[in-house]
Protein backbone atom coordinates (compact mmCIF):
# COMPACT_ATOMS: atom_id res chain seq x y z
CA UNK A 1 0.00 0.00 0.00
CA UNK A 2 2.80 2.42 0.90
CA UNK A 3 4.63 1.83 -2.36
CA UNK A 4 1.50 1.94 -4.52
CA UNK A 5 1.20 5.74 -4.76
CA UNK A 6 4.72 6.41 -6.08
CA UNK A 7 4.75 3.26 -8.24
CA UNK A 8 1.33 3.87 -9.82
CA UNK A 9 1.74 7.59 -10.44
CA UNK A 10 -0.83 9.05 -12.78
CA UNK A 11 -1.17 12.72 -13.68
CA UNK A 12 -3.34 13.27 -10.61
CA UNK A 13 -0.72 11.69 -8.30
CA UNK A 14 2.41 13.42 -9.59
CA UNK A 15 4.33 14.79 -6.62
CA UNK A 16 2.24 12.91 -4.07
CA UNK A 17 3.96 10.61 -1.59
CA UNK A 18 2.63 8.72 1.40
CA UNK A 19 3.55 10.32 4.74
CA UNK A 20 1.61 8.33 7.32
CA UNK A 21 0.04 4.89 7.17
CA UNK A 22 -2.04 3.56 10.03
CA UNK A 23 -4.11 0.37 9.86
CA UNK A 24 -6.10 -0.88 12.82
CA UNK A 25 -6.86 -4.58 13.20
CA UNK A 26 -9.71 -5.27 15.59
CA UNK A 27 -10.38 -8.14 18.00
CA UNK A 28 -13.72 -8.76 16.30
CA UNK A 29 -15.01 -8.22 12.75
CA UNK A 30 -17.99 -6.43 14.35
CA UNK A 31 -15.84 -3.47 15.48
CA UNK A 32 -15.23 -0.40 13.40
CA UNK A 33 -13.95 2.77 15.02
CA UNK A 34 -14.75 4.87 11.95
CA UNK A 35 -12.74 7.46 10.07
CA UNK A 36 -9.62 8.18 12.12
CA UNK A 37 -8.70 11.24 10.03
CA UNK A 38 -10.99 13.41 12.15
CA UNK A 39 -8.56 12.89 15.06
CA UNK A 40 -5.56 14.18 13.08
CA UNK A 41 -4.69 17.88 12.96
CA UNK A 42 -2.03 19.91 11.17
CA UNK A 43 -0.02 22.37 13.24
CA UNK A 44 1.70 25.02 11.14
CA UNK A 45 2.77 28.65 11.29
CA UNK A 46 -0.16 30.63 9.88
CA UNK A 47 2.24 33.32 8.62
CA UNK A 48 4.21 30.92 6.40
CA UNK A 49 2.78 28.97 3.46
CA UNK A 50 2.88 25.19 3.62
CA UNK A 51 4.88 24.00 0.63
CA UNK A 52 6.76 20.99 1.95
CA UNK A 53 6.09 18.25 4.48
CA UNK A 54 8.73 19.84 6.71
CA UNK A 55 6.63 23.05 6.98
CA UNK A 56 4.17 21.57 9.49
CA UNK A 57 3.73 19.14 12.37
CA UNK A 58 1.02 16.51 12.55
CA UNK A 59 -0.84 16.61 15.85
CA UNK A 60 -2.04 13.12 16.79
CA UNK A 61 -2.91 13.85 20.43
CA UNK A 62 -6.67 13.39 19.84
CA UNK A 63 -5.99 10.16 17.92
CA UNK A 64 -3.88 8.89 20.81
CA UNK A 65 -6.70 9.59 23.30
CA UNK A 66 -9.26 7.92 21.04
CA UNK A 67 -7.15 4.79 20.53
CA UNK A 68 -6.28 4.59 24.23
CA UNK A 69 -10.00 4.73 25.07
CA UNK A 70 -10.70 1.91 22.60
CA UNK A 71 -7.60 -0.26 23.12
CA UNK A 72 -9.71 -3.19 24.34
CA UNK A 73 -11.17 -3.47 20.82
CA UNK A 74 -7.78 -3.30 19.10
CA UNK A 75 -5.71 -6.37 18.28
CA UNK A 76 -2.92 -4.65 16.35
CA UNK A 77 -1.90 -1.22 15.01
CA UNK A 78 0.18 -1.40 11.83
CA UNK A 79 2.00 1.88 11.25
CA UNK A 80 4.55 3.61 9.07
CA UNK A 81 5.79 7.21 9.08
CA UNK A 82 7.76 8.94 6.34
CA UNK A 83 11.15 10.10 7.62
CA UNK A 84 10.38 13.77 6.84
CA UNK A 85 7.01 13.90 8.62
CA UNK A 86 7.17 15.66 11.98
CA UNK A 87 4.76 14.38 14.59
CA UNK A 88 3.98 16.78 17.41
CA UNK A 89 4.98 15.31 20.80
CA UNK A 90 6.33 12.15 19.20
CA UNK A 91 9.90 11.48 20.26
CA UNK A 92 11.99 12.01 17.14
CA UNK A 93 8.77 11.96 15.10
CA UNK A 94 8.20 8.36 16.16
CA UNK A 95 4.56 7.33 16.07
CA UNK A 96 5.36 4.25 18.16
CA UNK A 97 6.53 6.38 21.08
CA UNK A 98 3.42 8.55 20.85
CA UNK A 99 1.14 5.51 21.00
CA UNK A 100 2.95 3.93 23.94
CA UNK A 101 -0.38 3.13 25.65
CA UNK A 102 -0.87 0.35 23.11
CA UNK A 103 2.21 -1.68 24.08
CA UNK A 104 2.23 -5.14 22.57
CA UNK A 105 -0.21 -4.10 19.84
CA UNK A 106 2.09 -1.92 17.73
CA UNK A 107 3.52 -3.35 14.53
CA UNK A 108 5.87 -0.98 12.65
CA UNK A 109 5.95 -1.59 8.91
CA UNK A 110 9.36 -1.74 7.26
CA UNK A 111 9.50 -0.49 3.68
CA UNK A 112 12.47 -0.99 1.42
Domains of the chain: which residue ranges? 18-108
The residue among 49, 34, 39, 40 whose CA lies nearest residue 85 is: 40
- In terms of Cβ atoms closer than 10 Å to its own Cβ (0-12, 13-18, 19+), residue 36 is middle
Angstrom CA distances, 37 to 9, 62, 73, 87, 104, stand at: 23, 10, 18, 15, 23
In which residue ranges of the chain is pLDDT below 70? 1, 5-7, 9, 13, 90-94, 96-97, 112
Which tens digits make up the pLDDT trace of 45-76?
888 888 888 888 888 889 988 999 999 999 99
- Residue 6: the pLDDT is 66
Amino acid sequence: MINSIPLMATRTKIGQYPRLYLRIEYNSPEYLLGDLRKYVAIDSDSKSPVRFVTDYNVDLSELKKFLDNNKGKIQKVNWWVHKDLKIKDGKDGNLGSLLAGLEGKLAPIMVS
